[in-house]
Amino acid sequence: MGLAQFFKSRSLRAKDDQRTNAAELTLKQSIFPICLVTVLFFLWGFSYGLLDTLNSHFQNTLGITQARSAGLQAAYFGAYPIASLGHANWILRHYGYRATFIWGLCIGALVAFPCIKAHSFGGFCAAIFIIGNGLGSLETAANPYITVCGPPRYSEIRINLAQAFNGIGTVVAPVMASYIFFAELSSEAAALANVQYVYIAIACFVFLLACVFFMARIPEITDADMAFQANESEANADSKPFRKQYRLFHATFAQFCYTGAQIAIAGYFINYVKATRPGTPDSESSVLLAGAQAAFSIGRFIGSGIMKYVRPRWVFLAFLSFCIVFVAPAITQRGNIGISMLFVTLFFESICFPTIVALGVRGLGRHTKRGSGFIVGGVSGGALVPPILGLVADKRGTGFAMIVPLMFFIAAETYAIAVNFVPSYRDSADAFSNTEIGLRPATGTDEETAKAADAQNEKTAVSENESQ
């Protein structure tokens, strides 16, 4: 195979108007692409876990306020809508999923350059903004890809299992950070250098991963594939213009509110521990955060198992309701009781984000790629809510400030209620839970159907000639 033919065989442009075998992938066929994309989930979970620890780290080393330290979250999650509604979504709609994966990884690799030059909090915010663009690009493609790669009936289970490895990344990162970021160092410059080396290593890894995605042959799921699934499952959202996809916009609102609350709690978890249990060392607080993130990861595995037997929309409603129930006592309780309430809250947060994605894109058909960009753009709530919590914490204390995520959880609950009790929401969600796509013999691609039709026409013509 020549070099030109090699690159041609790995073209990154998908033909969105043609249905492919990806429309009816079986469980077995979907294993390899799902495993490969799951590596991306671990990657941005690891990066996010470092971010929560860096928040407290910079408060200590640079002497900044809790409100100002939220600039890290603002830079990180503020970049998400720029990617999910802008450059990444354009690449996804015009080229495809694999091209978007490579694009996001390459942007992430660029973080090495500002990290090398960064000698201030502002410099690291700029580096984090680049990471946010890269990971926002990955989420724009990876979340819907996992959702649609395989039998639609199991979409919520797939994305929650993949996101469980994202949770493992958030566990590993704080543990590592407790030894690197909070080590006894001789100077502020040495502390900043430690952070630089970590992100440069991440940049090298993601560049190599981009090369792997270029070489790999994974199914490219097209708009025609999504339209086929929507029609076969009798979910009628595909027939409406994009501006009338009201369920999608409600899911985006819920994602904005929920993610803002989740990021605020995780971002100020270490501050909460130190404020409500005075004398706790930074390294121990970081390990406690890792423990809470472990509960978060375990929740995703358990939630995925429950979804095998209970409709995902019911599991989502129960888990989000328990988030409200357990974060409320953390406002007034102190010490181990308050910390325990946050542990349980993180456990029940586990399945909320991925389930909103899966339920939100159900039935969108040809609008799936564009719609997923809106839901992922809802992650920008993580840029708004933490600074609000930080301002309240500076004035009234970190414990009382937990009232902020409580209010945003309640706002997100409106979608969980709607998807269970409003018929237009519920019927669309259940249509995909009942479909047999991917579990029955495939009907064939557009190309295969056309070839079969041509062969039948040729056979008919030959028969007519022989009869004459």
Provide, rounded to the nearest whole percent, the portion of the chain with pLDDT above 70.
75
Decide if pLDDT at 455 tops 60.
no
Q: Residue 456: its pLDDT value, please?
A: 45
Bigger pLDDT: 205 or 191?
Answer: 205
Identify which of 36-50, 390-404, 452-466 has the greatest average pLDDT: 390-404
User: Do 450 and 440 meet the contact criterion of CB atoms below 8 Å apart?
Assistant: no
* pLDDT mean across residues, the chain: 80
Sign of CA dihedral 300, 306, 312, 317: negative
Q: Residue 453: its pLDDT value, please?
A: 42
Quote the CA–CA distance of 189 and 420 in Å, as a whole number.
Answer: 53
> Which stretch of 2-6, 191-195, 289-293, 387-391 has the lowest confidence by average pLDDT?
2-6
Confidence of residue 202 (pLDDT cuts 50, 70, 90): confident
Quote the CA–CA distance of 167 and 154 in Å, as a whole number.
Answer: 20
Q: All domains of the chain, ordered by start, with CATH? A: 24-434 (1.20.1250.20)
**Measuring CA to CA, how many Å separate 111 from each of 46, 125, 240?**
15, 11, 40
Confidence of residue 362 (pLDDT cuts 50, 70, 90): confident
Task: Tell me the H-state helices in 268-363.
Answer: 269-276, 282-307, 312-327, 329-332, 335-349, 352-361
Decide if pLDDT at 14 tops 80.
no
| pLDDT (tens digit per residue) in 48-96 | 777 666 666 666 666 666 667 677 778 878 888 898 888 999 998 888 8
Identify which of 94-108, 183-197, 400-414 has the greatest average pLDDT: 400-414
Retrieve residue 447's tokens. 């190309």
The DSSP 8-state label assigned to residue 437 in this structure reads T
Q: Residue 226: its pLDDT value, please?
A: 78
* Cα within 13 Å of Cα(117), Cβ side: 9
Decide if pLDDT at 120 tops 70.
no
Whole-model pTM: value is: 0.80
281-296 burial: b if 16+ Cβ within 10 Å, else e: ebebbbbbbbbbbbbb
Q: What is residue 201's three-state secondary structure?
A: helix
